[in-house]
Amino acid sequence: MRNVFDYQIEYSGLQNRMAQMFDPKSGHTVMLAVDHGYFQGAPAGLINLRETVEPLLPYCDAVSPTIGGLKTSFNSNMRTPIILRATGGNSMRMPDELDDEIITVSVEEMLRVNAVGFTVSCYVGLDCQSQTIQSLTDLTDEAHKYGLVSIGITAVGADPVLTKFVKGEREDGGELTADDKKEAIKYLKHASRVLSENGADIIKTYYCDGFEEVVEACLAPIVIAGGTKRPTKEALEFTSNAIKAGAVGVDMGRNIFQNEHPVAMIQAVRAIVHDNKSPKEALEFYEEIKNKS
């Protein structure tokens, strides 16, 4: 006996592009974020973008550069799916205006460079909330005509309260209090849900304790950004916690390319994301690769 669900009625380009970004076995993804220069200028680890990226590419399921980074520092022969940063216009030289982001890449340009998807930073709760959510909805609407995947990022700019949540520490470097942690869950849960309600296919957000609540409340799959560089063990621990809590992968930058051994680090992250290794096992793997190299 058959029923209608045995047939795929329509091939979907969007689903096919999603499939390119995710490992078919684990259903998870390790995306490498190298787009930081769009507002940070030349951060440590990305001064020579080409040199940073080349040894890491074999270990990425997708890579997230800016349009300028892609055109100058990547080889057209590469086969890694591209997730293009599609918003910007801000700069750390004006921290108070970090949330003032606009669309910087057209859908036509995304297609020209053969991107499978794009990222848009949305500043929920900040001055430019509606402008940045509108960038997400406008681009998603246009890009979905061609089956490109939209990723909404819950960005926090320089807001002192929100940056505390994403850094996982207080302004003075001290540990978050129980109240801070509750507020972090509340904010990240709210912001992720808002972006999913506004039509993002994937949400990129930051890890916090109690991340299960963020995942549960979000209508779309979640990947985590890594945030500021942490010690290797700590970065592997929060990656593992995020995956256990239901994240479908990472779109991670500084905790990989600013690590003392980026190639070992990305493989250790993969071991957690794809092979379900514990942080301890992943750290041993990291040490093993590091010592060999």
Buried b (16+ CB within 10 A) or exposed e, 77-96: eeebbbbbbbbbebeeeeee
Query: Cβ closer to ligand R5P: 87 or 196?
Result: 87
The length of the chain in residues reads 293
Q: Tell me which residues touch ligand R5P (CB under 6 A).
A: 33, 35-36, 64, 153, 225-227, 251-255
Tokens of 188: 């990240």
The one catalytic residue among 164, 167, 186, 204: 204
Query: Cβ closer to ligand R5P: 71 or 288?
Result: 71
Task: Using alpha carbons, list the distances in angstroms from residue 53 to 18, 252, 255, 260.
Answer: 22, 13, 14, 15
| Shortest separation between residue 6's beta carbon and ligand R5P, angstroms | 40
Is 204 known to be catalytic? yes
| Shortest separation between residue 43's beta carbon and ligand R5P, angstroms | 9
Give the C-alpha separation, 1 to 12, whole Å: 26
| Shortest separation between residue 267's beta carbon and ligand R5P, angstroms | 17
| Shortest separation between residue 155's beta carbon and ligand R5P, angstroms | 7
Query: Cβ closer to ligand R5P: 33 or 143?
Result: 33
Instruction: Assess contact for 269 and 50: CB atoms under 8 A.
Output: no
Instruction: Assess contact for 257 and 23: CB atoms under 8 A.
Output: no
Query: Cβ closer to ligand R5P: 143 or 252?
Result: 252
Please list the active-site residues: 204
